[in-house]
Amino acid sequence: MSSVEEKLAKSLTAESVALIPYLPYLLQDLWELGSSPKDVVHLISKNIIISEKTKVLDLACGKGAVSINVAKKFGCKVKGIDIIPEFIEDAKKKAQEYNVEALCQFIVGDINQSVEIEKDYDIVIFGAVGEVLGNQKETLNKLAATIKKGGYVMIDDGYAKSEDNEIFITKEQWVEIIEKSGYRMIDELLVDESELSGVLDEQMTCLTKRSNELKERYPNQANLFDQYLKSQLAECDELENDILGVTMLLKKHD
């Protein structure tokens, strides 16, 4: 079993790689899979001067919700890369719908390879991708290779509310790693906790409906889908109680 597949499953809150073929079906009703495009656009507007020459890379772009909103708002070029071919197909269709197909390039790929070949971007977005590129320090080092001098990295992740969280780290720990990795935190936007439970409830309703459909179609796999819904509920609980979602804008020291 490859660790790329295991990390892919985890990035979408699936415990088992056996669920990977079903993810496009389960997630068909959702466009935004992690980051809030509104928050990303807000942080860029507030902090970065964008021109038509600005180049943006969206690593593990999902169905392109962030890429397309950024291209639409700023008129700049965006390249999105994701490992799930169905997500990339959806992203291309959405780009047409939003009239930004000339600005957006979407390709299927493993971002572990992309970070070795993609270079000279003004902004690199890494939205809700977790540990696909390694731990926080390894991720920041790999992302550094893709940005040009004076470029920015936008990361969507979370601050653990207490130090005993096994997956997430606290804001103080993040800041220490960011500074040791040669970046400065320029700005951050915390998730709006008053809106969170409504958004999560809506997502759970869609996932439960699709999961029930799959259970009917593949009764032998019922446990797999039940387990997926359990993991989703556990993640919702974590997001509401143990973690503060955050989008961070970082700038690399020259």
- Pick 13 or 222: Cβ nearer ligand SAM: 13
Nearest by Cα to 33 from 237, 235, 241, 224: 235
By CB under 6 A, tell whether 6 contacts ligand SAM.
no
Total chain residues near ligand SAM (CB under 6 A)? 25
The beta strands (E) that lie in the chain are given as 55-59, 77-82, 104-108, 121-127, 147-160, 183-190, 243-252
- Pick 15 or 110: Cβ nearer ligand SAM: 110
Q: Least distance to ligand SAM from the beta carbon of 128, Å?
A: 4
Would you give the binding string for ligand SAM spanning residues 13-52, x where CB under 6 A is met? -------------------xxxx-----------------
Contact 174, 136 (CB under 8 A): yes
- Pick 11 or 146: Cβ nearer ligand SAM: 11
CB atoms within 10 A of CB 101: 16
User: How many contiguous H segments (helices) and E segments (strands) does the chain have?
Assistant: 10, 7
150 in helix, strand or coil? Answer: strand
- With CB under 6 A as the contact rule, the residue among 111, 115, 153, 250 that binds ligand SAM is 111
* Binding site residues, ligand SAM, CB under 6 A: 4, 7-8, 11-12, 32-35, 60-62, 65-66, 82-84, 87, 110-112, 127-129, 132
